[in-house]
Amino acid sequence: MTTAPLSFTFTFDGEPVQAQSGQSVAAALIASGRRSWRHTRVEGRPRGVFCGIGVCFDCLVTINGRPNHRACLVEARPGDTVTTQEGAGHDDLAC
């Protein structure tokens, strides 16, 4: 069994983000000073963590090319590529 390092990085929109083992993507983004990482479709308002427990969809991100991940529920992993989710996040946008 392999264990994740205590501290590692993943990228968010091409920039390195420091994370701790067991930390969610949302927690790592907040710890790095980012408060929002998505914008609403209609009015372009910034969104980040709202509920923090996976009930809402304000914290959606694309992880490793797959959209619609709630950043508050996904554990950060070394080497992940996390990007701002564009549009509605339909699978056909993750090419």
Query: What is the average per-residue pLDDT within 30-34?
Result: 97
Banded model confidence at residue 1, pLDDT cuts 50, 70, 90: low
58 with 41: CB under 8 angstroms?
no
pLDDT value for 44: 86
Q: Which tokens hold the place of 52?
A: 């923090």
45 with 81: CB under 8 angstroms?
no
pLDDT value for 90: 59
Architecture of domain 7-87: Roll (3.10)
58 with 50: CB under 8 angstroms?
yes
- Mean pLDDT for the chain? 89
* CA 55 distance to own-chain centroid: 15
Query: What residues form DSSP beta bridges with 9?
Result: 18
| Residue 9, CA atoms < 13 Å, CB-side half-sphere | 8
Model confidence pLDDT, tens digit, residues 37-70: 988 888 888 899 999 899 988 999 999 999 999 9
